[in-house]
Amino acid sequence: MKQFLQQISRALVAKFVLVAVCVLAIVGVVAYLSHQMKGSSVEVGHTQRIGVTPTQVERIRSIGQWEFLSVADEEMVDTVRHGFFGDDELSRIYYGTLRLGVDLSQTADGWITMDHDTVDVLLPAIRLLDDNFLDEARTKTFYEEGKWSEADKAALTRRAQLAMKRRCLTPSNIRSAQQNASTQFDNLLKAMGFDYARIRFANPPSTK
């Protein structure tokens, strides 16, 4: 019986020693790793987009003319020719649709840049995209007295074009086109993965 108890005691001591050795080994490993990693840090973050690539810039530029506002108009223009035997008169009604927008092929170098996390875009000035905005097929002669040449009618057409430009190319319509352009360009950049954008417009060319 005594011998049996001695054997159990030796087994318990051996197990205790084994556990102690394991604990000391674990403590040693932890201490070593803590010493090695002291002064070091691991950071997890999001990779920031560097900027719009040249390929993306050229892809946007290739859009070319981009319409942001169309204005339908009609003008009645008349002319009177005084003669010895009476006056001749010609009145015509013209219809047209003026398209306002930008031509991205006219962008300057560096028109798209990055300002931290914001895409800074400088668009060309809003302008009339097509000078051939009259719908000649809808032109109507309202009143005609006397004989009028094709040159006379062409002069009347030019007056109608100028009248439509004065009526439609107003600061209010240009501002509306700019607002539409800003919204649509912002949506385009968001679709490309950019969350923030600043849209500006170049000054219109001087008419002096």
Local confidence band at 9 (pLDDT 50, 70, 90 cut-offs)? low
Query: What is the pLDDT, as a whole number, of residue 42?
Result: 37
Q: Where does residue 178 rank: exposed (0-12), middle (13-18), buried (19+ CB within 10 A)?
A: buried
Q: Which residue has the higher pLDDT, 81 or 118?
A: 118
55-110 pLDDT, tens per residue? Answer: 888 999 999 999 999 999 999 999 998 876 678 899 999 999 999 999 999 998 89
Query: Please, which pLDDT band fits residue 4 given cuts at 50, 70 and 90?
Result: very low
**Chain-centre distance of CA 159, in angstroms?**
36
Phi, psi angle pair for 42, to nearest 5° = -120, 125
List, edge to edge, every strand of the sheet that includes 112-115.
112-115, 118-123, 196-201
For residue 123, the SS3 value is strand
Question: What whole-number distance in Å separates Cα of residue 45 and Cα of residue 48?
Answer: 9
What confidence tens digit (pLDDT) does each residue in 127-180 have? 999 999 999 999 999 888 888 899 999 999 999 999 999 999 999 999 999 999
pLDDT of residue 35: 52
The pLDDT tens digits of the residues spanning 12-42 come to 445 554 555 455 555 554 455 455 444 433 3
Residue 169 has a pLDDT of 96
Q: What is the DSSP string of 55-104?
A: HHHHHHHTT-EEEEEEEEEEEEEEEEEEETTEEEEEEEEEEEEEEEEEEG
CA–CA gap between residue 80 and residue 34 (Å, rounded): 100
For 117, the 3-state DSSP assignment is: coil
